[in-house]
Amino acid sequence: MSSPSPVASFPHVFFLGIGGIGMSALARWFQANGHSVSGYDKTVTPLTEALTAEGIAVHYADAVENIPAAVREHRSQTLVVLTPAIPKDHQEWAWLREQGYDIRKRSQVLGLLTQGRPTIAVAGTHGKTTTSSMVAHLLHHAGVPSAAFLGGISVNLGSNLLLPPPGSPADTTPVVVEADEYDRSFLTLHPTVAIVTSTDADHLDIYGNKDALVESFRQFVGQIQPGGTLIINHTADPSVAQAAPTGVRVIRYGLSPEEGPELYADSITAQGHQFGFALHGPQGTVEELALAVPGYHNVENMLAAACVAQLYGLTPAQLRIAVAAYRGVKRRFEFILTTGSAMAPKIYVDDYAHHPREIEAFLRSLRALYPGRRLRVIFQPHLFSRTRDFAPGFAESLSLADEVVLMEIYPARELPMPGVTSELILSQITAPQKSVQTREEILQNAEIDPNFDVLATVGAGDVDQLVPRLKNILNIRWNGAQA
């Protein structure tokens, strides 16, 4: 940009909740751009440890005296970035408010950082992290100068942040952002290109009903820049595409031409971990694409991402190479352990799915990859409100497994709700085997009960903390010679 950055006047940036995946990407951006960055988080995680290793000061005890002296002494030169997960009674937040600091939500800061930049915003109640990482990867792999703020750790980039090459002009260098509908955060963005992956009901604790959620997507789409492009899933509420401003190009996408989209896939094959397909769309046809991250839903996500890449000039040859090189996002269909023979594989996969539609897509793809193999799913429900609102949907999608193990609900920002427990889902599951288990019971049963071929841990809470221990147990059990 020719004008100074809106955040240039803040040499100090302090994060409340710095360990969040979106917050940490912002922290890394400020650090890379010469700001003094520090922050608080509740617990030590691999992500906060990585931030510390990168030179960012992180503390874990909520006390005003733990706020760095430079922040306490330079109120007018400090920007405070806040995550919604910080509780109302947080001492540091209260002190910063009382002292009159400039406190902004993460979404507001993201809006500031993308001002005057061509922005590719990926929205949707599910699929946005994977799709935005795909867009960032395709552009970066093909050498298109670009930046990205992602909601997950890209395996290819090794980070949730992509910085543009030094000297890239801000007014022509696209920035890829995950546009979060939670708390209407994405309304701080005014994209050049917008992708909407889904408008399924979610976050009803914020919106109250699906109509209000859809209206927020309509507002988001209404903010696309003149002459811009909307790439929208054919399953999205039709009124969302209708909200696009006059002159904005609308491209609908889906897995097959029978669904009526302008952008679709055919010749879809599943072999091993790889899905092959051909892309057909208004930017042309690209044959023989090979995606190493499995799942029909990921083929659909890649359709939208590849369409953006075509808008930025990628040729069919560049697309084929870049798609083949894509390695996914941590905790999105992540293969933890693969062993056994081709005829009798033993597989452990971890996935972030936490909405019924996501779980259904994930499990159907697992079934396609490993037909006839016995599937055990360990699922941790995320939020009391989401469990209350979607218990029948969770039960229906999880019933695709042979055995379902539920953990107790991960509360995140919520307090318990009367009558809302994992039993609400369990009672409606029709899988042959189902139970609610503690962490220790899950680990014990992984050791003593061999009655499964494919194991999946699923959820958005802290179920991933089980992954290293389960991997070790299964590696010993499945590969006994290594024990």
As given in the structure block, the two tokens for residue 72 are: 């306490």
Which conformational region is residue 463 in: left (phi greater than 0), alpha (psi within -120 to 50 degrees), or beta? alpha
280: three-class secondary structure by DSSP: strand
Q: Please list the residue range(s) of the chain that carry CATH number 3.90.190.20.
A: 334-482
Largest CA distance in the chain: 66
As given in the structure block, the two tokens for residue 190 are: 């005014």
Task: Identify the band that residue 139 occupies on the pLDDT scale cut at 50, 70 and 90.
Answer: very high
Under DSSP, the state recorded for 246 is T
Q: What was the pLDDT predicted at 45?
A: 86
Name the burial class of residue 314, with classes exposed (0-12), middle (13-18) and buried (19+) by CB atoms within 10 angstroms of its CB: buried
Measure the CA–CA gap between 335 and 340, rounded to whole angstroms: 14
What mean pLDDT is predicted for residues 333-347? 87
Q: Please list the residue range(s) of the chain that carry CATH number 3.40.50.720.
A: 12-105
- pLDDT tens by residue, 367-406: 988 889 999 999 999 999 999 999 999 999 999 999 999 9
As given in the structure block, the two tokens for residue 351 are: 């996935």
Q: Which residue has the higher pLDDT, 32 or 86?
A: 32
Average pLDDT across the chain, whole number: 92
CA angle 29, 322, 147 (to 5 degrees): 15
Binding site for ATP: residue ranges?
124-130
Pairing of strands 159-162, 147-154: antiparallel
Nearest Cα neighbor of 442 from 480, 399, 403 is 403
Q: What was the pLDDT predicted at 481?
A: 43
Measure the CA–CA gap between 146 and 163, rounded to whole angstroms: 7
- pLDDT tens by residue, 225-249: 999 999 999 999 999 999 999 999 9
CATH of 114-325, one of 3.40.50.2300, 3.40.50.300, 3.30.1360.200, 3.40.1190.10: 3.40.1190.10
**For residue 233, what are the β-bridge partners?**
253
Percentage of the chain modeled with pLDDT above 90:
72
Contact 371, 401 (CB under 8 A): no
Nearest Cα neighbor of 182 from 83, 70, 304, 319 is 83
Q: What was the pLDDT predicted at 344?
A: 86
Contact 182, 84 (CB under 8 A): yes
Pairing of strands 263-271, 274-281: antiparallel
Q: What is the dihedral of CA 308, 122, 105, 328, to 10 degrees?
A: -90
Q: How many CA atoms lie within 13 A of 439 on its CB side?
A: 11
Contact 81, 26 (CB under 8 A): yes
Contacts of 350 (CB under 8 A, 6+ apart): 331, 334, 336, 456, 457, 458, 464, 467
Pairing of strands 119-123, 147-154: unpaired
Topology classification of domain 334-482: Protein-Tyrosine Phosphatase; Chain A (3.90.190)
Whole-number Cα distances in Å, 240 to 204, 220, 221, 289, 476: 18, 9, 7, 30, 51
**For residue 275, what are the β-bridge partners?**
270, 291
Binding site: residue ranges?
124-130
As given in the structure block, the two tokens for residue 71 are: 């922040």
Q: Which residue has the higher pLDDT, 420 or 481?
A: 420
Could you please report the per-residue DSSP string of 101-133? -EEEEHHHHHHHHTTTS-EEEEE-SSSHHHHHH
Measure the CA–CA gap between 452 and 336, rounded to whole angstroms: 16
Q: Which amino acid is at 478?
A: W
Q: Is the pLDDT of residue 483 over 50?
A: no
Q: Please list the residue range(s) of the chain that carry CATH number 3.40.1190.10.
A: 114-325
| Domain 12-105 class, CATH top level | alpha beta
Contacts of 179 (CB under 8 A, 6+ apart): 121, 122, 123, 128, 185, 186, 189, 191, 194, 220
